[in-house]
Copies of this chain bind each other. A is one copy, B any other.
Amino acid sequence: MRRICVDMDEVMADTLSEHLRRYNEAFDEAITPDDLQGRGLWEYAPENRRQQLRDFLDAEDFFEDLPLIDGAQEVLHKLSERFEIYIATQAMTVPNSLGPKFRWLQRHFSFIPPTNYVFCGNKSILLADYLIDDLPRNLQRFRGTGLLYSAPHNMNTTEYVRVNDWNEVAAYFASVED
Protein backbone atom coordinates (compact mmCIF):
# COMPACT_ATOMS: atom_id res chain seq x y z
CA MET A 1 0.00 0.00 0.00
CA ARG A 2 1.47 3.35 -0.96
CA ARG A 3 1.66 6.12 1.57
CA ILE A 4 0.35 9.69 1.39
CA CYS A 5 1.39 12.33 3.91
CA VAL A 6 -1.03 15.21 4.32
CA ASP A 7 -0.22 18.59 5.81
CA MET A 8 -2.81 20.12 8.18
CA ASP A 9 -2.72 23.92 8.03
CA GLU A 10 -4.36 25.32 4.89
CA VAL A 11 -4.78 21.79 3.52
CA MET A 12 -7.09 20.11 6.05
CA ALA A 13 -7.71 23.04 8.41
CA ASP A 14 -8.57 26.57 7.36
CA THR A 15 -5.89 28.25 9.45
CA LEU A 16 -5.82 31.35 7.27
CA SER A 17 -9.45 32.33 7.88
CA GLU A 18 -8.92 32.20 11.66
CA HIS A 19 -5.67 34.16 11.35
CA LEU A 20 -7.43 36.80 9.22
CA ARG A 21 -10.38 36.93 11.61
CA ARG A 22 -8.11 37.74 14.55
CA TYR A 23 -6.02 40.17 12.53
CA ASN A 24 -9.03 42.06 11.16
CA GLU A 25 -10.60 42.24 14.58
CA ALA A 26 -7.43 43.49 16.30
CA PHE A 27 -6.57 46.10 13.67
CA ASP A 28 -10.07 46.99 12.48
CA GLU A 29 -9.31 45.83 8.94
CA ALA A 30 -11.26 43.76 6.40
CA ILE A 31 -8.56 41.80 4.60
CA THR A 32 -9.77 38.74 2.66
CA PRO A 33 -7.83 35.85 1.08
CA ASP A 34 -8.20 37.66 -2.26
CA ASP A 35 -5.92 40.42 -0.96
CA LEU A 36 -3.17 37.87 -0.39
CA GLN A 37 -2.54 36.48 -3.86
CA GLY A 38 1.10 35.43 -4.05
CA ARG A 39 2.02 36.44 -0.53
CA GLY A 40 1.34 35.40 3.03
CA LEU A 41 -0.26 37.54 5.70
CA TRP A 42 3.29 37.81 7.03
CA GLU A 43 4.40 39.74 3.96
CA TYR A 44 1.18 41.73 3.74
CA ALA A 45 1.11 43.00 7.32
CA PRO A 46 3.23 46.04 8.19
CA GLU A 47 6.34 45.12 10.12
CA ASN A 48 5.12 46.59 13.41
CA ARG A 49 2.20 44.13 13.43
CA ARG A 50 4.22 40.95 12.89
CA GLN A 51 4.76 40.22 16.57
CA GLN A 52 1.00 40.36 17.07
CA LEU A 53 0.53 38.08 14.06
CA ARG A 54 2.83 35.58 15.75
CA ASP A 55 1.07 36.00 19.10
CA PHE A 56 -2.24 34.99 17.51
CA LEU A 57 -0.74 31.62 16.59
CA ASP A 58 0.79 31.15 20.04
CA ALA A 59 -2.57 31.63 21.77
CA GLU A 60 -3.63 28.39 23.44
CA ASP A 61 -6.98 28.31 21.66
CA PHE A 62 -5.89 29.23 18.13
CA PHE A 63 -5.68 25.69 16.72
CA GLU A 64 -8.46 24.25 18.88
CA ASP A 65 -11.43 24.85 16.65
CA LEU A 66 -10.30 25.66 13.10
CA PRO A 67 -12.83 25.23 10.29
CA LEU A 68 -12.36 22.32 7.91
CA ILE A 69 -11.22 22.78 4.35
CA ASP A 70 -14.08 21.68 2.07
CA GLY A 71 -13.85 18.08 0.94
CA ALA A 72 -10.88 17.07 3.13
CA GLN A 73 -12.89 14.63 5.27
CA GLU A 74 -14.73 12.93 2.43
CA VAL A 75 -11.76 12.60 0.09
CA LEU A 76 -9.33 11.42 2.77
CA HIS A 77 -11.86 8.92 4.03
CA LYS A 78 -12.15 7.49 0.53
CA LEU A 79 -8.37 7.57 -0.07
CA SER A 80 -7.76 5.74 3.22
CA GLU A 81 -9.29 2.63 1.62
CA ARG A 82 -6.53 2.53 -0.99
CA PHE A 83 -3.57 4.30 0.63
CA GLU A 84 -1.87 4.59 3.98
CA ILE A 85 -2.70 8.12 5.14
CA TYR A 86 -0.31 9.94 7.49
CA ILE A 87 -0.85 13.44 8.82
CA ALA A 88 2.39 15.44 8.80
CA THR A 89 2.20 18.84 10.40
CA GLN A 90 4.88 21.35 11.26
CA ALA A 91 3.87 21.77 14.90
CA MET A 92 7.23 22.34 16.57
CA THR A 93 7.47 26.03 15.76
CA VAL A 94 4.20 26.57 17.67
CA PRO A 95 4.40 24.19 20.66
CA ASN A 96 1.03 25.38 22.02
CA SER A 97 -0.55 23.84 18.95
CA LEU A 98 0.45 20.27 19.90
CA GLY A 99 -2.53 19.42 22.11
CA PRO A 100 -5.12 21.32 20.06
CA LYS A 101 -3.92 19.71 16.81
CA PHE A 102 -4.15 16.24 18.33
CA ARG A 103 -7.71 16.88 19.56
CA TRP A 104 -8.78 18.48 16.26
CA LEU A 105 -7.60 15.43 14.29
CA GLN A 106 -9.36 13.05 16.65
CA ARG A 107 -12.58 15.04 16.35
CA HIS A 108 -12.66 15.46 12.58
CA PHE A 109 -10.59 12.55 11.23
CA SER A 110 -11.36 9.70 13.60
CA PHE A 111 -10.77 7.19 10.77
CA ILE A 112 -7.04 7.99 10.81
CA PRO A 113 -5.31 6.34 13.80
CA PRO A 114 -3.19 8.62 16.05
CA THR A 115 -0.21 6.36 15.33
CA ASN A 116 -0.32 7.92 11.83
CA TYR A 117 0.05 11.50 13.12
CA VAL A 118 3.48 13.04 12.70
CA PHE A 119 4.12 16.33 14.50
CA CYS A 120 7.41 17.50 13.12
CA GLY A 121 9.41 20.43 11.83
CA ASN A 122 11.64 19.66 8.87
CA LYS A 123 9.62 17.44 6.52
CA SER A 124 12.66 15.84 4.95
CA ILE A 125 12.23 13.28 7.75
CA LEU A 126 9.12 11.76 6.09
CA LEU A 127 9.36 8.45 4.32
CA ALA A 128 6.31 8.40 2.07
CA ASP A 129 5.36 8.26 -1.59
CA TYR A 130 3.39 11.52 -1.66
CA LEU A 131 3.12 14.72 0.31
CA ILE A 132 0.22 17.15 -0.09
CA ASP A 133 1.31 20.51 1.31
CA ASP A 134 0.73 24.22 0.72
CA LEU A 135 4.32 25.23 1.48
CA PRO A 136 6.79 24.92 -1.41
CA ARG A 137 9.63 24.73 1.15
CA ASN A 138 8.18 21.50 2.57
CA LEU A 139 7.77 19.94 -0.87
CA GLN A 140 11.32 20.87 -1.76
CA ARG A 141 12.71 18.98 1.24
CA PHE A 142 10.46 15.96 0.72
CA ARG A 143 11.98 12.97 -1.11
CA GLY A 144 8.81 11.57 -2.70
CA THR A 145 6.30 13.20 -5.06
CA GLY A 146 5.00 16.54 -3.84
CA LEU A 147 1.57 18.00 -4.60
CA LEU A 148 1.15 21.73 -3.96
CA TYR A 149 -2.23 22.42 -2.38
CA SER A 150 -3.35 25.84 -3.54
CA ALA A 151 -3.40 28.64 -0.99
CA PRO A 152 -3.34 32.38 -1.66
CA HIS A 153 0.32 32.67 -0.65
CA ASN A 154 1.56 30.05 -3.15
CA MET A 155 -0.36 31.17 -6.27
CA ASN A 156 2.82 32.22 -8.09
CA THR A 157 4.70 28.95 -7.49
CA THR A 158 5.07 26.88 -10.63
CA GLU A 159 7.53 24.12 -9.63
CA TYR A 160 5.04 21.50 -8.41
CA VAL A 161 1.95 19.64 -9.52
CA ARG A 162 -0.83 21.85 -8.22
CA VAL A 163 -4.12 20.68 -6.72
CA ASN A 164 -6.65 23.48 -6.31
CA ASP A 165 -9.08 21.68 -4.04
CA TRP A 166 -9.87 18.24 -2.64
CA ASN A 167 -11.78 17.24 -5.77
CA GLU A 168 -8.54 17.66 -7.68
CA VAL A 169 -6.73 15.56 -5.07
CA ALA A 170 -9.29 12.80 -5.58
CA ALA A 171 -8.92 13.03 -9.35
CA TYR A 172 -5.12 12.88 -9.13
CA PHE A 173 -5.11 9.72 -7.04
CA ALA A 174 -7.85 8.07 -9.08
CA SER A 175 -5.23 7.55 -11.79
CA VAL A 176 -2.41 6.55 -9.42
CA GLU A 177 -1.56 2.96 -8.58
CA ASP A 178 -2.12 2.09 -4.91
Contact A119 B119 (CB under 8 A): yes
Closest to A103 in B: B95
Bound CA–CA A121/B99 (angstroms): 15
Identify which of residues 74-126 in chain A touch chain B, using a CB-to-CB cut-off of 8 Å: 86, 88, 90-93, 95, 98-99, 102-103, 113-122, 124-126
Interface of A is mostly: mixed
* Contact indicator A119/B98 (Cβ below 8 Å): yes
- The answer to the question of A143 belonging to the interface, with a C-beta cut-off of 8 Å to chain B, is yes
B115 touches A122 (CB 8 A): yes
Look across to chain B and name the residue whose beta carbon is closest to the beta carbon of A92: B114
A161 proximal to B (CB < 8 A):
no
Chain B, residue nearest A121 (CB)? B115
Tell me if A118 and B115 are in contact (CB < 8 A): no
Is A174 part of the binding interface, using a Cβ–Cβ cutoff of 8 Å?
no
Quick check: is A171 within 8 A (CB to CB) of the other chain? no
Q: Is the CB of B115 within 8 A of A92?
A: yes
Q: Which 9 pairs show the lowest CB-CB distances between chains A and B?
A: A115-B121, A127-B127, A98-B98, A92-B114, A119-B119, A118-B120, A115-B122, A95-B102, A92-B117
Q: A98-B102, A114-B121, A115-B121 are in contact. List 13 more A-B contacts (CB 8 A).
A: A3-B125, A5-B125, A88-B125, A92-B117, A95-B103, A99-B99, A113-B121, A116-B121, A118-B119, A118-B125, A125-B127, A125-B128, A126-B127
14 intermolecular pairs with C-beta atoms under 8 Å apart: A3-B125, A91-B119, A92-B114, A95-B102, A95-B103, A98-B98, A113-B121, A114-B121, A116-B122, A118-B120, A120-B120, A125-B127, A125-B128, A127-B127
